[in-house]
Structure 1
């Protein structure tokens, strides 16, 4: 059976992106060219790999099986090529990282310029995603998630210090609605809620003197990104609970005021995780070493 390598690559691109248009953009080709490759692959294999609609594509059972087997195989091929390219003494290749917005902004991006300058033969792809991701299946070298929210067969590396969240509001909001003194007081306030990609609402957790409080806040505004929550809090729309680095400038200049500070403990660290069962390619080893060295001691 004459299966072309480029058709398999096209299939993986569409499977990961979930659409021909996005996959075409990622690969720098036209959607029609990808569609032709997929039709050719399905004809040669005599099996349907994708169910197509006008807006998206979904893997069939055969497509799901093919993606699961091809992803690690292609990763091994890329790793082999990277190892050969790195024989000259400098790591080369591509590193793909999947992470939510907070660690991208506050951990990765501050070190990216230095890393790229140090390793000019390495390209770096960072994809923002707060949902559950199978990094092996989706072709990533590593992911970043909070705490230890990852598969058991992963190696986890803690990044930065423990995360502290702050409940903040504008001076105008607090003047009108009052300052909450206990987490239970939040139930009488407008809280700006955060919805995760999976659909759940971010739970606000507090602790003091051995007392733990967890509540799902009430509020008329729900967003899916910390920037929107901060902007809404600054505009007086309610109380927001955000990672402290997001609001430090606003707290310093008085645009926001922090409340319930004595109820806000640190709640764990971000971890970079990667598969334990696979030999890490030179480019990723270089990235891992660089980001670990950049963390506070």
Structure 2
């Protein structure tokens, strides 16, 4: 029974799919299926219930996965620590973060990080859902504020966040401007749907009152960049993290509205599990980006 076989087993658990797990592991579907069958024969127990639509761990498979995840994480950390005794941190860092954090705080600094640490590999996963980074096999996550499990270590990453409601001059001239957040019910809004299926609510503050509005509109997108493009084209109003609209605002292609009702949101936070031994690659990643994203 090899460590790579156990890693493949966990990949199937994470994805709930042999196809997706095989893609992650760089294997063919038949090779991965054979690996799982061999594990089941060796353990004398079924690990998955398979149907044409799903792959779900059995009670034994769930128990094995829960025990293996922290154990293999410790093994990987120990091996990376030993490799790093040569003077350079090495290993892999898997990062889960929403698009705005990646676009403005991580990706611009990746070339410098990879140049500084040639023995570290980085995998980036764009995700805005509320994910359990330990269960899903990630080393570090990034979310707004402190929206994460309590047993995590969190560090602020960059400044507080400013979200802006914007529209094109032509649209505002044609439809007028909203004076309060409640006026948005009379405007065409460009909605943003999360991968979970939930529509991104627009949040405002009037005095001491917090207001959350689920916008109405005919256009729904999954990225802020598409929302900005649609707003520039006069489709309606969009609410996006300010950096996405900064250029268009500076060039006069977009105008900001309702800014006095738009509070600043907590800064992005980089977070990771509290472990007895922190892998050197993860330590290098955390230290580098905590400084670079200031």
Q: Provide the TM-score with structure 1 as the length reference.
A: 0.93
Indicate the larger mover: 204-213 or 168-177: 204-213
What SS is found at the alignment partner of 2:108?
A: coil
Alpha-carbon offset, residue 164 of structure 1: 0.2
Alpha-carbon offset, residue 208 of structure 1: 4.5
> What is aligned with 1:64?
62
Q: Which of 246, 249, 252 is matched with 2:247 structurally? A: 249
Distance 1:85 1:142 in 2: 21
State yes or no: 1:163 paired with 2:175: no
Distance 1:234 1:63 in 2: 51
* Contact 1:169-1:238 at 8 Å conserved across structures: yes
- Residues 6-64 of structure 1 deviation map (CA, whole Å, 9 limit, x = unaligned): 32122112222332222222222211100111111122223222233335422223222
* Contact 1:162-1:268 at 8 Å conserved across structures: yes
Report the aligned-residue RMSD.
Answer: 1.7
* Contact 2:106-2:293 at 8 Å conserved across structures: no
Distance 2:40 2:272 in 1: 32
Q: Provide the TM-score with structure 2 as the length reference.
A: 0.94
* Contact 1:7-1:40 at 8 Å conserved across structures: no
Structure 1: gaps (5+ residues): none
> What is aligned with 1:96?
94
Distance 1:212 1:32 in 2: 53
> What is aligned with 1:220?
218
Q: Which of 42, 53, 70 is matched with 2:40 structurally? A: 42
> What is aligned with 1:288?
286
State yes or no: 1:22 paired with 2:5: no
> What is aligned with 1:199?
197
Alpha-carbon offset, residue 255 of structure 1: 2.3
State yes or no: 1:178 paired with 2:176: yes
Indicate the larger mover: 3-12 or 91-100: 3-12
Distance 1:56 1:285 in 2: 37
The alignment covers a number of residue pairs equal to 294
Q: Which of 143, 147, 150 is matched with 1:149 structurally? A: 147
Rate the CA distance shift 1:178–1:282 in 2: closer, same or farther, 3 A: same
Q: Which ranges of 4 or more aligned residues in structure 1 deviate by more than 6 Å?
A: none
Distance 2:207 2:9 in 1: 55
Indicate the larger mover: 170-179 or 78-87: 170-179
* Contact 1:168-1:241 at 8 Å conserved across structures: yes
> What is aligned with 1:189?
187
Indicate the larger mover: 225-234 or 155-164: 225-234
Structure 2: gaps (5+ residues): none
